[in-house]
Amino acid sequence: MSFASIEFLIFFAVVLGGTWFIEFQFSTRVKECFLLLASYFFYGYWDWRFCFLLLFVTVSSYFSAKHHKKKAVFVTGVVVPLVVLGFFKYFNFFLSSVAAVIGKDPGALRIILPVGISFYTFQALSYVIDTHREKIPVENDFVKLALYISFFPQLVAGPIVRAADFLPQLREDRKVSFDNIKWGIQVFTFGLFKKIVLADHISVFVDDVYSKPVAFHWTAIVLATVSYSLQIYFDFSGYSDMAIGCAKCLGYDFNKNFNLPYISQSVTEFWRRWHISLSTWLKEYLYIPLGGNRKGKARQYLNLMITMLLGGLWHGANWTFVFWGGINGLALCADKLRHDKKRTGVLRWLKILATFIFITFTWIFFRADSFSTAKTVLKGIFTLQDGIHQPFVWSFVALAFLAVATLAAEIKARKAKTDTNGYYPILNLSKVWGLTVFFIVLGLIVGLAYTGENPFVYFQF
Amino acid sequence: MKIKQTAKALCKIALSGFLALLTLTAFCFFYYNIPAHQENKDGTTDYKWEPKVFYSRGTEGFAWGKTNNEGFLNPIDYNENTPPIDILIMGSSQMEAYNVNIRDSVTGRLGEHKTVYNIGIAAHDLMTCFGNMEAALNKYRPKYVVLETGKCLFTDEALSDAVSGTTGEIPSHSGGLVGLLQKNQYLRLVYGQLDNFMKKQADDDGDEAGVYSGADEGRNNDKLLSGLMQKISSTAREYNARVIILYHPRVLLEPDGSVKLKGSASAVEQFEQTCRENGLMFLDMSQRFTREYYENHRLPYGFANTSVGSGHLNKYGHAMIADELYRLISETE
């Protein structure tokens, strides 16, 4: 059940109405159980068997956190989610990689990748590690912990919500309110627009070019690559907005997951603005435990590389993702070496452009299904290949949308004399003009939406 | 007090909804403005568009213009001052060509050399056109009539209906609620979206009345096809017109950069042979489409806002067809 589907809208309306009704009539406990059941229903809609896997990871995290002072139990609590993730996501990948080295036919187990496994295992890990570090208290209430790990808005594609951020909200008596719904529904709609109007239309062109790169003119390949930068941003940030909006309607807050990443002046800044919940997770639970920058320069670079290589692998069981992580890691090391300062004026825009070009280049390896496709794409560009021209209009529409959003954020930041940050254009729905604009946006979504099947890019991770 | 507040909130919602619908309709005037269909009583087509109205299309390609006095997409009106028609074009939405501007369509391009009149209209596949041909020849008296098709393989039932003249009529939906809804462009766009969505859900490959594709293998029933062609031929002779059956196959782009033509090659061959035997001309665009791709990297279908190589004929596709039709007619003359 994707957020951008009629089934989800019906499901969400029922859950929202049910939660509101329960808050009036029953205790918080009933509400938590209801949300937990709804979350498992949401997850089981894909494949009910994986609900048991989710439950297994939750039970494991619950007991290992409870007895985290015993080292063996704590280690088990960390290893179990990693083994689950490793088996379902990486088993065939490692098998085929080893077989390729020794030159044998690997065979393969028919393993279905459970949707969202990379996200909920990371959430479970954050809880176990944080309790062990005594950053958060042990959660004795199993329902609360299970709801934290399985809460449907963030279950299948993030944002990766940390226990320290979410469990305290469950302990408060958060309610469904009209104000929250007004805010949440607008953020959801904003995300829906990004996903089904912009990202999905662009995906048609990107898929065309990346499935037959030899057929296209080099300018079309360049445009498709730039378009993919836009597609993945609108797709994933759109999904995050929808998750944030859904949670808000139910009374819960998620942190921002994207903050205008394409106005970054360096790769380091990009990773502070892109998929913030993952970057923060990798920093706190991988980079810092590895030693961070506390053990000298050489070790810091090594730690950065390890973090980014594993971050790349987290995205998918393919060497192209590892390579993508690797080149991002190298760029981060280069940033650390240069100690380049933030610029203003024309230099700032040049640095933004250079970073965008570099990031777009790295997306080639992220999008291509193999090194061979990536090579064909690069060859097409650098040999100025002749072929089909396709000045795809939706790419320019998306670019214009991004430019306007960035300009609005820039003007706002200048007025407030702060850094440029993304924000949600929230309308006052109590006024006629606010409602009219909101209805127009809804109408545009219905009228302009791409009507084909197109799952969220990050579902595969 | 509470009732008053609720009533006020409902009024606000209704007013906002109305204002939003007005704005969206204004937007659609330029983005997706398809005139309503009307019944065509003269039988040359099953329906036509409203005459003399502005239309625009931004969902597949970008085009705009005005329908002529009969409700077809033509650079000329049809009246007593119209010069004798050299070429009458009949066919589906591919010939209707509301995805390209009229000057870029087959009609517009051929119109530079000949007097051409286009009555192509959505959903009119070859069998429907056969059914309407006599009425069209009787009314327009052209020297040539072009019947467009995207496939050459038909079911026995379709052929048999065409032979017996019982091909079903396509309703115009100009009356009732649907007719009323057709008048609001935004609602029409939403209907189109919903229709596309349902088709995709049903795993439909997007064919419009079987216009685009056909099965990759198989042949038509020889007897029925011959019977149909004989009928077409004798009707054409009666009106002193020559029939050109225009076949434009779907071109599929392969991962290795080559192109493949969709459709049954043996059915195309059979169609061509049966046409020849009955004195009908058959124009197969297969070679021209393939050559144009390998020489100039141009595909006949698809637009800058849709998937490459799929959907309706683009301006290059129309130009290729116009070229080939002109060449064929010039050679014949």
Residue A19 lies in a domain: yes
Nearest-CA distance A390 → chain B (Å): 6
Residue A206 lies in a domain: yes
Cβ–Cβ gap B298/A388 under 8 Å: yes
A152-177 mean pLDDT: 87
Catalytic residue positions of A, numbered: 315
Say yes or no: A168 and A70 in one domain: yes
For residues A43 and A51, give the distance between their C-alpha atoms in angstroms, rounded to a whole number.
7
pLDDT score, position B37: 84
Domain boundary among A135, A161, A176: A176
Say yes or no: A124 and A210 in one domain: no
Say yes or no: A159 and A204 in one domain: no
Chain B residues closer than 8 Å to A388 by CB: 297-299, 308
Residue A273 lies in a domain: no
Helix-strand-coil split of chain B, %, nearest 5: 45, 15, 40
Chain B residues closer than 8 Å to A214 by CB: 256-257
Q: What are phi and psi of B94, to 5 degrees?
A: -65, -40
Domain boundary among A142, A176, A210: A176
Nearest-CA distance A213 → chain B (Å): 8
Asked if the model's pLDDT at residue B155 lies above 60, the reply is yes
A33-53 mean pLDDT: 91
pLDDT score, position A423: 81
Nearest-CA distance B278 → chain A (Å): 40
CA closest to A438 among chain B residues: B20
Find the CB nearest B255 among A211, A217, A439. A211
Say yes or no: A439 and A409 in one domain: yes
> Is the CB of A444 inside 8 Å of chain B's CB atoms?
yes
What domains are there in chain B, each with its CATH number? 73-170+209-332 (3.40.50.1110)
B50-55 mean pLDDT: 92
A128-132 mean pLDDT: 92
Residue A23 lies in a domain: yes
- What are the C-alpha distances in Å from A260 to residues A282, A351, A403, A412? 20, 15, 10, 13
Confidence of residue A412 (pLDDT cuts 50, 70, 90): confident
> Is the CB of A450 inside 8 Å of chain B's CB atoms?
no
Say yes or no: A137 and A32 in one domain: yes
- What are the C-alpha distances in Å from B294 to residues A215, A217, A222? 10, 13, 21
Say yes or no: A246 and A366 in one domain: yes
CA closest to A210 among chain B residues: B255
pLDDT score, position B209: 37
- Listed in order, strand segments (DSSP E) in B224-270 are 242-247, 251-253, 259-261
B244-263 mean pLDDT: 92
Cβ–Cβ gap A432/B23 under 8 Å: no
The percent of residues in chain B predicted with pLDDT above 90, rounded, is 63
Q: Give me the domain span that covers residue A44.
A: 6-176
Say yes or no: A83 and A191 in one domain: no
Asked if the model's pLDDT at residue A89 lies above 90, the reply is no
Confidence of residue B212 (pLDDT cuts 50, 70, 90): very low
B308-318 mean pLDDT: 94
CA closest to B5 among chain A residues: A430
Asked if the model's pLDDT at residue A433 lies above 70, the reply is yes
Residue A295 lies in a domain: no
Per DSSP, B44 falls in state S
pLDDT score, position A214: 95
Cβ–Cβ gap A212/B196 under 8 Å: no
> Is the CB of B21 inside 8 Å of chain A's CB atoms?
yes
Confidence of residue A199 (pLDDT cuts 50, 70, 90): very high
ipTM metric: 0.87
Q: What are phi and psi of B165, to 5 degrees?
A: 70, 30
Say yes or no: A399 and A423 in one domain: yes
> Is the CB of B252 inside 8 Å of chain A's CB atoms?
no
Residue A270 lies in a domain: no
- For residue B83, give every residue at least 6 positions away whose Cβ sits within 8 Å of its Cβ, in sequence order, or none: B115
Cβ–Cβ gap A440/B20 under 8 Å: yes
Asked if the model's pLDDT at residue B213 lies above 50, the reply is no
For residues B189 and B201, give the distance between their C-alpha atoms in angstroms, rounded to a whole number.
18
Query: Average pLDDT over chain B, rounded to whole?
Result: 88
Query: Mean pLDDT lowest for which of A12-21, A243-252, B192-201, B317-326?
Result: B192-201
> Is the CB of A439 inside 8 Å of chain B's CB atoms?
yes
CA closest to A440 among chain B residues: B20
Asked if the model's pLDDT at residue B211 lies above 80, the reply is no
Look at chain A and report how many structural domains it folds into.
Answer: 2
Chain A from 355 to 414: CB within 8 A of any B CB? 386-394
> Is the CB of B308 inside 8 Å of chain A's CB atoms?
yes
Domain boundary among A176, A207, A232: A176
> Is the CB of B23 inside 8 Å of chain A's CB atoms?
yes
Nearest-CA distance B8 → chain A (Å): 11
Confidence of residue B208 (pLDDT cuts 50, 70, 90): very low
Say yes or no: A119 and A244 in one domain: no
- Listed in order, strand segments (DSSP E) in B109-196 are 116-118, 144-149
Residue A30 lies in a domain: yes
- What are the C-alpha distances in Å from B127 to residues B69, B132, B208, B219, B220? 26, 9, 14, 16, 13
Confidence of residue A116 (pLDDT cuts 50, 70, 90): confident
What's the burial of B143, exposed, middle or buried (CB within 10 Å: 0-12/13-18/19+)? middle
Residue A277 lies in a domain: no
Query: Mean pLDDT lowest for which of A67-71, A182-186, B259-263?
Result: A67-71
pLDDT score, position A459: 56
> Is the CB of B189 inside 8 Å of chain A's CB atoms?
yes
pLDDT score, position A81: 87
Cβ–Cβ gap B193/A451 under 8 Å: yes
A161-185 mean pLDDT: 90
pLDDT score, position A453: 64
> Is the CB of A214 inside 8 Å of chain B's CB atoms?
yes
Say yes or no: A18 and A114 in one domain: yes
Q: A386-401, pLDDT tens digit by residue?
A: 999 999 999 999 999 9
For residues B19 and B15, give the distance between their C-alpha atoms in angstroms, rounded to a whole number.
6
Nearest-CA distance A440 → chain B (Å): 5
Cβ–Cβ gap B256/A444 under 8 Å: no
Query: Mean pLDDT lowest for which of A86-90, B256-260, B301-305?
Result: A86-90
Say yes or no: A148 and A234 in one domain: no
Say yes or no: A12 and A79 in one domain: yes
Alpha carbon A421 to its chain centroid, in Å, reads 18
Q: A336-360, pLDDT tens digit by residue?
A: 888 777 777 888 899 999 999 999 9
Q: Residue B48 forms beta bridges with which residues?
A: B38
